[in-house]
């Protein structure tokens, strides 16, 4: 089979014809119909991603396809079923073997490209808001970096969960993306009075923050008592420091979110979340945005679109002949 493969540390990723072994006893073997690209793939090529496997390995974290065969211990899936898998690696190929515990069935009306495009971004926001923050309908959700890849999903999911959403992003154009995603109120994240604007809108019950830095500090000071703050990432380059005495005085909670980490100690959290999200997608309540669809032999072009930030949505790789 052809795969976008790294043979040794520091070597470039190349389209390579490699053998496909039988699935392990706890694995499913998948004919891959779609795989989406992530910045983590770029970091894996450089060897700087925290979960980079030891070479040789195939890139590709999010994948969807049809089961060809199953290992002897797999009882929950059968050949012919359609699934999405948070693979971690191995998705940029014509086929692959993946742990069955990482897979979820696809509803009939969800296509492969959509299934490969949603798990990490939408899954991160759903687990953060539902599992970690236990957000309730009617609460106020503040989303920092609301026009970014995960920020927009937080706006969408927050609205579906019944929250009143305040979106913070840089500039009118990006704020318009957040408005179209369902935000109730818009604030320019570079405003000098960011804290005051949040307070004027009634403060926040939940803060979703992929930005860090000064924006986190402003949001932290504009929370309601018993608010929950969710550090998702640090796009600003500055990891905020939290004064514990302020947490105590206002009964605040800071809840770390490492979405992929659940696969190591509680995979049911991820698969349960993904099943909920797939249901919403099948109902038309969520629609992941795909900006580029490319064949496997143009995977390098797709990764360049990510590296140069030219993609406005997910970049999905589709092996030749895949539907």
Residue 321 has pLDDT above 80, yes or no: no
- Residue 55, phi then psi, degrees to nearest 5: -65, 155
In the chain the domains, ranked by start, together with CATH numbers, are 2-118+288-318 (3.90.180.10), 121-260 (3.40.50.720)
Three-state SS for 264? Answer: helix
Q: Are 14 and 3 in contact (CB under 8 A)?
A: no
pLDDT over threshold 90, residue 11? no
- What's the rounded Cα separation, in Å, for the pair 124 and 259? 5
The DSSP code for 133 is S
The rounded distance, in Å, linking the Cα atoms of 84 and 277 is: 12
CA distances from 232 to 78, 149, 208, 216, 239 (A): 36, 12, 7, 11, 11
pLDDT in tens, 208-219: 999 999 999 999
Structure tokens at 64: 């969807």
Q: Per the confidence metrics, is the pTM higher than 0.85?
A: yes
Residue 292, pLDDT > 80, answer yes
Q: 127 is written with which tokens? A: 């687990």
pLDDT at 87 over 60: yes
Q: What is the pLDDT of residues 258-274, one digit of tens each?
A: 998 999 999 999 999 99
């Amino acid at each position: 089979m052809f795969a976008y493969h790294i043979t040794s540390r520091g070597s470039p990723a190349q389209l390579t014809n490699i053998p496909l072994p039988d699935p392990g006893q706890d694995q499913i073997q998948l004919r891959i119909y779609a795989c989406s690209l992530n910045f983590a793939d770029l970091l894996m090529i450089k060897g700087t991603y925290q979960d980079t496997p030891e070479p040789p390995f195939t890139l590709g974290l999010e994948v969807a396809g049809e089961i060809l065969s199953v290992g002897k211990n797999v009882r929950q899936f059968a050949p012919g079923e359609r699934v999405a898998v948070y693979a971690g690696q191995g998705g940029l190929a014509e086929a692959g073997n993946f742990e069955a515990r990482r897979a979820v069935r696809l509803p009939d009306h969800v296509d492969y490209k959509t299934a490969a495009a949603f798990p990490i971004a939408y899954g991160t926001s759903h687990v953060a808001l539902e599992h970690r923050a236990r957000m309730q309908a009617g609460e106020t959700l503040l989303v920092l970096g609301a026009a970014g890849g995960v920020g927009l999903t937080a706006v969408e999911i927050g609205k579906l969960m019944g929250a009143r959403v305040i979106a913070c992003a840089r500039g009118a154009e990006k704020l318009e993306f957040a408005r179209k995603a369902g935000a109730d109120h818009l604030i320019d994240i570079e405003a000098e009075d960011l804290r005051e604007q949040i307070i004027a809108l009634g403060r926040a019950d939940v803060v979703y923050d992929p930005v860090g830095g000064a924006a986190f500090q402003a949001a932290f000071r504009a929370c309601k008592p018993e608010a929950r703050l969710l550090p998702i990432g640090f796009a600003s380059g500055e990891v905020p420091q939290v004064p514990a005495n302020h947490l105590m005085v206002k009964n605040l909670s800071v809840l770390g979110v490492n979405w992929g980490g659940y696969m190591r100690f509680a995979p049911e959290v991820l698969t349960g979340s993904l099943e909920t999200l797939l249901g919403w997608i099948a109902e038309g309540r969520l629609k992941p945005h795909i900006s580029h669809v490319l064949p496997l032999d143009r995977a390098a072009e797709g990764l360049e679109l990510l590296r140069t930030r030219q993609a406005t949505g997910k970049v999905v790789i589709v092996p030749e002949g895949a539907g």
